[in-house]
Structure 1
């Protein structure tokens, strides 16, 4: 006869009926955040004083506080406690007993000392290779792990480019016959980003644009074919457009972006030119649906009606910050003015970057970034590009992850 039935008879009275053998252990799991630790201590003491676990073969198999967190952010006071019973009938006898329901449980429920879930799971048999190696709450055989290979570091996504200073970027040539320029990024799948500089007027043969191309004049001027651009002007050229002879004016800096071959984008049969003098700033905001508002000023340069790709300027006031956010499209940025501290929640760990004018990043889709500590002290103006519609999903925190040392090279798969 089960001890559960005997206990039920003692606690509630009445004859005990025959039951199935109590030989299939189960685990009762109590998990959730604790709000009143003192009352929970009194609750635990009441269980111990009742000796109900002893009489039903129940015992704790863990301490309730985690010693490490590998994923996610548990709420304050979160605890998990596991009790092993010799069978489900004994766990039910404990839960349904008069002493527990009427004397012990009210100690934590009226009022609630925590928000808990209580679930019960069957125990599975030991794997054959573990039989004889574990028992009496201890391992009977030592497991040193010397033959287990080390786990590879968490890999950050391909194409990630963060914290670049354009003045220190590699020198290369965008095309044959072009002057050397600072290569910010080059990738077959996602395209290229360059910064051209000229101390004095420079002429060269621009030839045909090898891919859909965007140009933004940081300062000075640029002329090609029938197009003349000044500071703050923007141009979009279709693949194959013959630029002919190109002139960079004295003391000029130009941003040049090239799409990858076959990128989804609407055709550009004639150059699109957007003059700074003809476009204004409009008010914008982000993070409204995340419970915080960050007022911004936006100057639109181009939006592709087919792909949703955008190129625009965003001006951020001093002290503005947003929650942690994630985009389902890549995002590329070049800091035009001011300063900006930007946090990245990477698989390899959180990293923080301090950007000054000329700072550049390219972030593939799906990388969490920003957060409340990302902000500007002087105000900041960014040029931003996205290859598809820019959306944002907001999160309360960066999930726990190891912090990668600043001097450690990022590993890619």
Structure 2
């Protein structure tokens, strides 16, 4: 199981089996709200403030929401054996010769020497620094604007689910995409063979995690975050969009959802 080695705060009300238990915690980051996390310093982006969701101080892998002040300049913070992903939430971010506005996305593969970043009016963006094998991933940078593509229905036009693909790596199976969920969508119990990481860009979403055979549910609002390990069961009848919601989701390997019959306690 993936271990998060840096402390994280779990600060919202969680409902377990329908009973309010504010002290309940899962053994991985879930039901985290970014605004309730403390600001931290990121060595790769001097002068920036960051909300760190997950990370490993030894390997420098990390997942963050970063705020840049006006007239900031620096680099993307590339490191050997690391890939970098950016997604702009607010403001505008100059990435090399291109200006990214909200919905703008950039990916830099391991071995890339980084690029200049700057902002005149300030910016807020998601920043992911990941371990990656250069032989197994796309070797060229990707710059993308999610605003130029239409939503593509997932499964069927009536499912209430639609996606925008930003990156799908044919070698590693890594994927970064937007998922839009309407209140009409039905989310069955499922698990995945790889880790799934999510940040709620907009909306209100009630999610359910299965832990030791019990359903743990809570409501995410904008800025909500989870970092779900491989094989964890989630979804079920209590999971739903309370209003149309858009998630940014990431996997670092092929991790398509597999249906599961129910929330069951693992066999000893």
TM-score using structure 1 length: 0.53
Q: In the alignment, what sits opposite 2:197?
A: 332
Shift of 1:264: 7.1
Going from structure 1 to structure 2, the CA distance change for 1:394 and 1:170 (only over 3 Å counts) comes to same
Q: In the alignment, what sits opposite 2:143?
A: 273
Q: In the alignment, what sits opposite 1:212?
A: 83
Aligned residues: 237
2:240 counterpart SS class:
coil
Aligned mate of 1:388, from 228, 253, 258: 253
1:261-314 Cα distance to aligned partner (Å, 9 max, x none): 548741434x2101234322111138xxxxxx8431111101001011110001
Q: In the alignment, what sits opposite 1:260?
A: 131
- Runs of 4+ aligned residues of structure 1 deviating over 6 Å after TM superposition are none
Shift of 1:400: 5.1
Higher helix share: 1
Q: Which runs of 5+ in 1 are unaligned?
A: 1-154, 287-292, 402-413
Shift of 1:205: 2.3
* Higher relative contact order, chain-length normalized (CA < 8 Å, sep 6+): 2
Task: Decide whether the 8 Å contact of 2:213 with 2:263 is kept in 1.
Answer: no
Shift of 1:197: 1.8
Higher strand share: 2
Shift of 1:255: 0.4
TM-score using structure 2 length: 0.79
RMSD of aligned C-alpha atoms? 2.6
Q: In the alignment, what sits opposite 2:181?
A: 316
Distance 1:400 1:272 in 2: 41
Shift of 1:184: 1.1
Q: In the alignment, what sits opposite 1:247?
A: 118
Going from structure 1 to structure 2, the CA distance change for 1:370 and 1:190 (only over 3 Å counts) comes to farther
Q: Which runs of 5+ in 2 are unaligned?
A: 1-24
2:31 counterpart SS class:
strand
Q: In the alignment, what sits opposite 2:153?
A: 283
2:131 counterpart SS class:
coil
Q: In the alignment, what sits opposite 2:29?
A: 161
Shift of 1:229: 1.1
Distance 1:363 1:209 in 2: 25
